[in-house]
Chains A and B, each alone.
Chain A
Amino acid sequence: MDPSRKRTIRFVVALSAAVLLAGALAYTSFSASTEARQPSELAAAQPTPGKKYQLVGKVVPGYTQKGDTTYFSVRDRNGKASVPVTYSGSLPDPFRADREIVVDVVKQGNVYVGQKGSLVTKCPSKFTADKTNT
């Protein structure tokens, strides 16, 4: 076969593979992703019960623990709107009031139930006071 034709075929095959991979990646990402919401957005949007959201915000002071379950509220990073959350399971060590957390939640009644093992707290190595907001 003509070498230049051979190269063209190789190039087309490689390009097709790359496009396929990128397409599959985009499709999978959009279909398997979770919406990230702040408490005020969740409160305003009337979320679908049973649908999973990724809640991002700060822990409101005054949370309580009963056995394995922790009851707390999460507020906006730079705001006061908050939503109640219950979470069952071990909390990460840095979990504290006013710390920023990310947790997957599902609305059940008036409460957002955290998905087990999904709660992460921002790395405390970097939690020097917010110079812009405090």
Chain B
Amino acid sequence: MLLAGQACLIVAFCCALYGIAASLYGAKAHRREFVASGRRAMYALAGATTIAFVTLELAFVRSDFDFATVASHSSTTTPLFYRLTAMWSSQEGSLLLWLFLLGGWSTLILYLTRHRLRVLAPYAQAVLLGFGAFFSGLLVFAETPFAKSPMPVAEGAGLNPLLRDPGMMIHPPMLYSGYTLFAIPFAFAVAALITRRLDAEWIRSTRPFTLAAWCALGFGIVLGARWSYHELDWGGYWMWDPVENASLMPWLTATAFLHSVMIQERRGMLRIWNVSLVLATGVLAILGTFLVRSGVLNSIHAFGASTLGVPFLLLIAAMIGGSIALVASRADSLRSENRIDSLLSREAIFLLNNLLLVALCFVVFWGTFFPLIAEAVTGVQRNIGPPVYEQFVVPLALLLVLATGIGPVIAWRRATASNLKRNLTKPALAGLAVCAVLIALGVTQSFTALLMFTLAAFVVAGVVQELFRGVRARRATSRESAPVALVSLVRRNRRRYGGYIVHVGIVTLFVGVAASSSFKHVQDVALRPGQSAKVGDYTFTYVKPTAQLHPAANGRLERIAFGAQLRVERNGKKTLLNTSKDYFPSQDGSLGPVSRFFDGETTTEVALKASLHNDVWAAVAPDIVKLRDRIEEGDKLFDKAADDLTPEQSEEFLALALRGLTGRYAENPPPARFRLEVNPMVTWIWLGGLIVLIGGIIAGWPSRRGATRTVKARYAARVGTEVRERVPV
């Protein structure tokens, strides 16, 4: 199996090299059969990678510790669901996931465009195969996931407990899908530049993939934030870590592109800008992968020891150098057909939106790389914290929301006073009304939050107004009921109305961020059973300690949980919540048989009661110091009796000892430390993320018009082939 997996990777690497050569030769010599062969090389790469991927997954499922990767990232006590996800917790497994997704998405785009974009396709597939060659090369020559364990392994190290979360199944594949999908518009942009076919056709053909990448990356980012919030014991969802920032940057530039591309399609403007945004997004997607694997910056997400920094740096340098050279040499073909007529126009607002998004990206980029910039300037590495980011990101985000409210309702080319009055009066009044109500309710502690709520209401009111007008117009020409008219309206112009839904999702998310960061209540306290602490309007009471042994599916002990039951009261309403700290056994052979259960990894199981209004959040840090004497005593007893006990007896007595320890903790608990939080409207962030995803799917869903275009393209291709066959060249 090891050999088969490795062979598949070698095949994938060879296919990539062959495909690049065939595609480029085919394009140069006008030999279509070579171009088709290059395309099939991508299919073969995807097939070989899929076999390698499945082989490694099966090894994880079977706990085949002959695979060094499996031995170091899984164990027999790791639940099956998490064994399936353990692959991408390793450097080599995550690279294989990258290649697997890249192969799959590239195959799909090349298959769908096989009858279209014939001039561009060979170069685009060469670029995609270039990425394939890079990643398969890394897997073959630097980080193979099919290395054999140096010695027989009876039990693996196990998946890190912090990663035993359902998010592990979705969050990394979503992020990687985003990154790999961004390779597609990048490849077609490069091809368009090489061939000077710089009209909007390549943009239209790759748009569903750009949108899919944007949705996947955005959803992946939100999932990561959610995971951090409910799994880690710090109660936050974003900490401006370099790796988090690295995922945000391509998302921001892609958001800018998705807006500005409308101006190119409609008015033939901003060609240099659009192509630059696509190229920058592709580079930033690879930069994210580089940051995780290079160790160049101090990130809590970075791989511990990686030697992949240099190859990634070379790839990024090639991408940046090639992109700049291509754009500079094609500047004459990238000239705009038109110019902005007025600053009061949709084009101008979209451009402002683009500038704000790029400014946001620049702030994030600057903050991420500031340690290196500071070192270059002052000779000392320096870091900036969240307050610096927030000082710049908050005003830019507020302006962005304002532009989001104006952009969709203002006229193209030049807005008149009557157009502005007609489209902006009601949304502005709605925003001001919300602001007045909030001031009356006493929500005045944070000016920026108040401004965000006001602007959010302005945006939502604008979208409602557009939908209302659209439904009214439809009903005037048909006899549809309002809900049917609404659905028909959205179906007939998915891109427009999907975009509006995305806007509603984004402002919902921003409202959640503004509320939760401005009105959060936190307390770190030590409590004995029966004692209480007040956090905001809520009273938390430590009711009783909990202690439990959790066996795995194979009967062996997976973890020990020490926790607390809390009673939360507000206005006479009571809720019981449970939080615990889970202790996973260590594989360190130098530890005693009892102490190894207390000196391994720990995870906090957060108590969370979420609602649209408030999240009540609690995490416990139990004090097990008083158990230490008993644990050491147990180690000594087991050491003394080691020769007299059979393995079965040893297991039995160990279980008894651990039961005794948990019982002792529950009967006589020391004070436990708690972090107690009341976080307003955090649920709005997750809800906003979901609305954005739904809106993105609606906007990217293939329309009937698109299908017609595909049919026409197929017909044109068939006619072209027939003509070529009949007319001798």
Chain A CB within 8 A of B359 CB: yes
A7 to B303, CA, bound (A): 48
Contact status A90-B383, CB under 8 Å: no
Bound-state CA distance A122–B602 (Å) is 14
The answer to whether residues A92 and B301 also contact, given A25-B363, A28-B388 and a CB cut-off of 8 A, is no
State how many angstroms separate the Cβ of B86 from the closest Cβ of chain A: 10
Query: A93 with B162: in contact, given A36-B381, A68-B673 (CB under 8 Å)?
Result: yes
Interface centre among A26, A90, A117 (most CB of B within 10 A): A90
B304 within 8 A of A: yes
How near does chain B come to A76, taking the closest CB pair, in angstroms?
Answer: 14
| Cα distance A79–B369 in the bound complex, in angstroms | 25
The residue that B675 contacts in the complex, of A10, A26, A90, A120, with Cβ under 8 A, is A90
B621 to chain A: closest residue by CB: A90
A130 within 8 A of partner (CB): yes
Collect the chain A residues with CB atoms within 8 Å of residue B301's CB.
Answer: 123, 125-126
The distance in angstroms between the C-alpha atoms of A130 and B162, with both chains bound, is 20
CA distance A72 to B383 in the complex (A): 23
How far is A90 from B300 in the complex, measured between Cα atoms in Å?
17
Q: By the criterion CB–CB under 8 Å, are A36 and B383 in contact?
A: yes
Q: Are A34 and B382 in contact (CB under 8 A)?
A: yes
> From residue 101 to 144 of chain B, which have CB atoms closer than 8 A to chain A?
none
- The closest CB in chain B to the CB of A22 belongs to B362
- Please provide the chain A residues from 37 to 67 with a CB less than 8 Å away from any CB of chain B in the complex: 54, 56, 65, 67
A110 in the interface, Cβ–Cβ < 8 Å?
A: no
Q: Which of B239, B383, B619 contacts A34 (CB 8 A)?
A: B383
Given A65-B625, A93-B603: A122 and B300 interface contact (C-beta under 8 Å): yes
What mask results when residues 148 to 182 of chain B are scored 1 for a CB within 8 Å of chain A, else 0?
A: 00000000000010110000000000000000000
Residues of chain A in range 105-129 having any CB-CB distance to chain B below 8 Å: 117, 120-129
Most-contacted residue by chain A among B363, B383, B673 (CB, 10 A): B383
Q: Does B79 contact A (CB under 8 A)?
A: no
Q: Give complex CA distance A106, B386 in Å.
A: 19
Name the residue of chain B whose CB is nearest to the CB of A38.
B381
Could you say which of B90, B163, B384 contacts A29, with CB atoms under 8 Å apart?
B384
Distance A96 CA – B591 CA, assembled complex (angstroms): 14
Taking the closest CB of chain B, its distance from the CB of A66, in whole angstroms, is 8
Residues of chain A with a CB closer than 8 A to B305's CB: 128-133
Q: Are B363 and A125 in contact (CB under 8 A)?
A: no
- Chain B CB within 10 A, most for which of A25, A36, A89, A93: A93
> In the assembled complex, which residues on chain A have CB atoms less than 8 Å from the CB atom of B385?
32, 34
User: Chain B's nearest CB lies how many Å from the CB of A106?
Assistant: 15
Chain B residue numbers with a CB within 8 Å of A35 are: 380-382
Known: A25-B392, A33-B374, A67-B526. A125 touches B382 (CB 8 A): no
List A contacts of B359 (CB < 8 A).
18, 21
Contact between B160 and A125, CB atoms less than 8 A apart: yes
Whether B366 and A29, one on each chain, are in contact in the complex, defined by CB atoms closer than 8 angstroms, is: yes
CA distance A133 to B304 in the complex (A): 11
Contacts of A33 in B (CB 8 A): 370, 374, 382-384, 388
List B contacts of A26 (CB < 8 A). Answer: 366
A14 located at the interface, meaning its Cβ lies under 8 Å from any Cβ of chain B in the complex: yes
Tell me, yes or no, whether B89 is within 8 Å of chain A by CB. Answer: yes
Q: Interface range on chain A: under 10, 10 to 19, 20 to 34, or 35 or more? A: 35 or more
CB within 8 A of B234: which of A22, A34, A54, A92? A92
Q: How far is the CA of A25 from the CA of B395 in the complex (A)?
A: 13
Name the residue on A nearest B522 (C-beta): A117
**Chain B residue contacts of A85, Cβ below 8 A:** none
Docked-complex contact A93 and B391, CB < 8 angstroms: no
Closest chain-A Cβ to B461's Cβ sits at a distance in Å of 29
| Neighbouring A residues of B673 by C-beta, 8 Å | 68, 90
- The verdict on B355 contacting chain A, using a C-beta distance below 8 Å, is yes
Q: Would you call A102 an interface residue if the criterion is a C-beta within 8 Å of the partner chain's C-beta atoms?
A: yes
Bound complex: CA A35 to CA B383 (Å) = 6
A133 to chain B, nearest CB (A): 7
| Cα–Cα, bound, A96→B162 (Å) | 14
- Shortest CB-to-CB span from B571 to chain A, Å, is 29
* A71 to B525 CA separation, bound complex (whole angstroms): 19
**Contact between A54 and B304 (Cβ–Cβ < 8 Å)?**
no
Please state if B370 and A56 are interface contacts (CB–CB under 8 Å). no
Contact B388 A122 (CB under 8 A): no
Distance in angstroms between the alpha carbons of A29 and B362 in the assembled complex: 13
Report the Cα distance A24→B367, complex, angstroms.
13
What's the nearest-Cβ distance from chain A to residue B291, in Å? 12
8 A Cβ contacts from B574-633 to A:
581, 601-604, 619, 621, 623, 625
Closest-by-CB residue of B relative to A14 is B355
Q: Looking across the interface, which residue of chain B has its beta carbon closest to that of A64?
A: B625
A7 to B524, CA, bound (A): 57
Bound CA–CA A126/B299 (angstroms): 11
Which residues of chain A have C-beta atoms less than 8 A from B388's C-beta?
A: 28-29, 32-33
A94–B239 Cα gap in the complex (Å)? 17
Query: Within the complex, what minimum Cβ distance (angstroms) separates A22 from chain B?
Result: 8
Q: Does B329 contact A (CB under 8 A)?
A: no
Measured between C-beta atoms, what is the minimum distance from B246 to chain A in Å?
13
CB distance from B241 to the nearest CB of A (A): 8
Chain B residues, CB < 8 A from A14: 355
Is the CB–CB distance between A125 and B163 below 8 Å?
yes
Decide if B255 is an interface residue (CB 8 Å cutoff). Answer: no
- Smallest CB-CB A-B distances: 9 pairs: A130-B305, A33-B382, A126-B303, A36-B381, A124-B160, A123-B301, A123-B300, A127-B304, A33-B384
Residues of A within 8 A of B (CB): 3, 7, 10, 14, 18, 21-22, 24-26, 28-30, 32-36, 54, 56, 65, 67-68, 89-94, 96, 100, 102, 117, 120-133
**26 pairs from A and B in contact (CB 8 Å cutoff):** A14-B355, A28-B388, A29-B370, A32-B385, A33-B374, A33-B388, A34-B383, A34-B384, A35-B381, A67-B526, A67-B623, A68-B526, A92-B234, A94-B601, A100-B304, A102-B300, A120-B239, A120-B300, A123-B162, A125-B89, A125-B301, A126-B292, A128-B72, A130-B305, A132-B305, A133-B305
